[in-house]
Amino acid sequence: MSDKITFTIDGKECTGKKGQTIVEAAKENGVYIPVLCHYDGLKPAGACRICTVRVGGRNMAACTTPIANDIVVQNNIPELEDMRKAIVEMLFVEGNHMCPTCEKSGNCELQALGYRYLMMAPRFPYLWPTKQVDASIPKLYIDRNRCILCLRCHRGVTTKDGKHIFGPVKRGDRTMITADPELAAGMTDKQAQQAMDICPVGALLKKEVGFVVPVGKRKYDQKPIGSEIQGN
């Protein structure tokens, strides 16, 4: 079939379908490329840049770059791995992440990447920004201290007629997620749960429930992030 595409990642022969991104095709071939802003089924954002790979010597975000025949992708190379770790560290210093008290601890993808990259203390000084918590929405609250601006909520949580319930405002390091108060007030329990699940960190949390699954028994407490793809 002409739709079949063959290429390599770190020397491993891979196959994929036309139109797939490198991240999607890699996953099907059992190769883990770390991602944070990527979420299966949502339009890619290319926001976190953790999935940066080298294609033909150029750095590209694997979540937004389509595969093509015979491309040579470098993924697991020390130089890139260190820069990916640096991005995880940047996220820890640009927010205020108090993992031990966070409802998402153990289910948090940022924390899980911190573990995966054996991050002890970030190489960058903490920025200790002042962030606001928005608890005005009936069913959930936005804790911007933990928001990594992955824009998953913006892309994935909409009203039936496609209006964004969440979206970014301001720019640069002042950028923050905010909600349309009317649209957010109309969210169902199911939608609130969906928003919480879509958020990779503990920035969108459902009100009135918490710690149903005890810390220690959560997703990444059991197995490291990426193991579901790479099988280790």
**Closest to another protein by CB, 24 or 94:** 94
Total binding residues toward ligand SF4, as defined by CB under 6 A: 15
Q: Of ligand SF4, another protein, none, which one sits near residue 219, judging by CB under 5 to 8 A according to partner kind?
A: none
**Closest to ligand SF4 by CB, 29 or 86:** 86
**Closest to ligand SF4 by CB, 120 or 190:** 190
Does 203 bind ligand SF4 (CB under 6 A)? Our answer is yes
User: Nearest distance from residue 51's CB to another protein, in Å?
Assistant: 10
Site for another protein, residues 162 to 201, rule: CB under 8 A: 163-175, 178-183
Does 120 bind another protein (CB under 8 A)? Our answer is no
Can you say whether the dihedral through the CA atoms of 194, 196, 201, 204 is positive or negative? Answer: positive
Which residues are near ligand SF4 by CB under 6 A?
A: 147-153, 166, 177, 198-201, 203-204
